[in-house]
Amino acid sequence: MYEDKTLTCKECGNEFVFTAGEQEFYAEKGFVNEPQRCKACRDARKNAARSEREWFTATCAACGGEAKVPFQPREDRPVYCSECFAKQKEEA
């Protein structure tokens, strides 16, 4: 039903293949537009958005260790390091 298509990336101008399997996946998800960027350019856009995230350092409310979090800590809310946060989730 679907056949591989060769498309041109709007970012880098390189050609890439939009496979029959990818087309079927897009159809199942209800996507109506074909991809406009090759995988390398899509990945670069995703990573660029992630790297812009600002990280804050706080003191873990449970163990007193250093916790790096992607939000500005507030005085009225506890902040936990990764290990203590995981323990909190297990206990809940």
Average pLDDT of span 41-58: 84
Query: 80 — phi, psi (to 5°)?
Result: -120, 150
88: confidence class by pLDDT, cuts 50, 70, 90: confident
What integer pLDDT is reported at residue 37 of this predicted model?
A: 97
What integer pLDDT is reported at residue 3 of this predicted model?
A: 96
* Contacts of residue 28, Cβ cutoff 8 Å, sequence gap at least 6: none
pLDDT tens-digit profile of 33-43? 999 999 999 99
What integer pLDDT is reported at residue 51 of this predicted model?
A: 63
First CA to last CA across the chain, in angstroms?
A: 49
Q: Which of 17-21, 22-26, 40-44, 48-52 has the lowest mean pLDDT?
A: 48-52
One-letter amino acid for residue 49 of the chain: A
Burial (CB < 10 A; 0-12, 13-18, 19+), residue 38, is: buried
